[in-house]
Structure 1
Amino acid sequence: MTDRYRSIVDVHVILERGDEILLLERQGTGYCDGMLHLPSGHLDDGEPLTHGAAREAHEEVGVHIDPADLVLITVVHHRQRPDLARIGMFFTTTRWTGEPHNAEPHKCGKIQWHDPRLLPEHTIPYPAAGIAAYLTGIPFVAHGWNDAS
């Protein structure tokens, strides 16, 4: 019997403040250092999606989010390379406690609030695809695949 296909599940959080969203500048990770990303990370084994998203937001920007306050806004099936695909679950919220700050300075250079309609050029394309879907209300995006990127 062959093993079933398994994919990495990523959780992304769009923290909304007025007309802006929070982005983090990656550093020291070896993946897209110097580029902007949302608070995000991998889902842990046995962890509900909303709990993973709330955990990642707390770990990266120090805010506490009630998982019930997270709204799933899009799913991005991202092909990172020919042998690796990821499924990104993008959540949004306007409710959290605590002031966002750089809670992982060894992985993040700084945090910045940006207009999601005018993303900086150095935003990583994968989260940029999720942000674009958030803005347009598209529930699913195939990103990085030959037939639909």
Structure 2
Amino acid sequence: MVGMVPPRFALIPAVYILLLREAPGAGPASKGGPASSPQVLLQLRRGTGFMDGYWASGAAGHVEAGESVVAAAVREAREELGIDVGAAGLEPLTGMHRSNDVGGAALEQRVDFFFAARSWTGEPRIMEGTRCAGLRWFALADLPEPVPPHERVVLERLAAALDGGAPVPAILPFGFDGERIERCAVARPR
């Protein structure tokens, strides 16, 4: 081991903004009946080199040097969707700590901050046509295929929480050797 330089560890932060709305024409639950499934805006990725052809969060991206995760979320919504969510319009959902090298050395890890937004200024539209092949609203209870696996975990947990299930855990590990999300999720204090 003398003279060997250990591999460098990298932790890469990113933000995900999930725009949520009620289905058009849907109202709240009435007389004990279920409410319609909320919808989430997803983008069809292309030309990025990562998960192209997948339906992913409407807006997402890396946190820039010296930038807070909240400022990054506001910036990404503006850059990718042409909308203003404002910091006050962001609802923190979960933090996900994940590895892209399942069962490997995990030298590159990600920390993803997921936010929901239920109100914004402007109409979501494609702002980066070379990176996005389409925008579409989907019911959380009926997600398309394919969705990046780490995002699907959050979307499915959010759908269950909005349907009266357990809240989305504050922290979700994903992709580490042998770990299962159900076992490792750190619950929010009640």
Q: TM-score, normalised by structure 2?
A: 0.72
The structure that is strand-richer by fraction is: 1
Residue pairs, 1:8-23, within 5 angstroms: 8-18=12-22, 19-23=38-42
**RMSD, aligned CA:** 1.8
Q: Partner of 1:73: helix, strand, or coil?
A: strand
Q: Does residue 55 of structure 2 align to residue 36 of structure 1?
A: yes
Residue from 176, 182, 190 that aligns with 1:145:
176
- Report how many residues are paired: 148
The equivalent of 2:135 in structure 1 is 111
Structure 1's unaligned 5+ residue stretches are none
Moved more, 55-64 or 76-85: 76-85
**Contact persistence 2:10–2:108 (CA under 8 A):** no
**Contact persistence 2:174–2:180 (CA under 8 A):** yes
Q: Partner of 1:89: helix, strand, or coil?
A: strand
Which protein is bigger by CA-based radius of gyration? 2
**Contact persistence 1:13–1:40 (CA under 8 A):** yes
1:50-103 alpha-carbon deviations (Å, 9 max, x no partner)? 110011111111111111211111111121124321011000111111100111
Distance in 2, matches of 1:13 and 1:78, equals 18
Q: Give percent identity, aligned residues only.
A: 30
Q: Partner of 1:105: helix, strand, or coil?
A: coil
Q: TM-score, normalised by structure 1?
A: 0.91
Q: Does residue 98 of structure 2 align to residue 78 of structure 1?
A: yes
Q: Partner of 1:30: helix, strand, or coil?
A: coil
Residue type at the aligned position of 1:17? R
Residue from 85, 89, 109 that aligns with 2:113:
89
Residue type at the aligned position of 1:30? G
Q: Partner of 1:118: helix, strand, or coil?
A: coil
Residue type at the aligned position of 1:105? G
Distance in 1, matches of 2:157 and 2:112, equals 12
**Contact persistence 2:10–2:109 (CA under 8 A):** no
Distance in 2, matches of 1:131 and 1:54, equals 20
Structure 2's unaligned 5+ residue stretches are 1-5, 23-37, 162-166, 182-190
Q: Partner of 1:91: helix, strand, or coil?
A: strand
**Contact persistence 1:50–1:68 (CA under 8 A):** no
Structure with the bigger RCO (C-alpha within 8 Å, sep 6+) is: 1
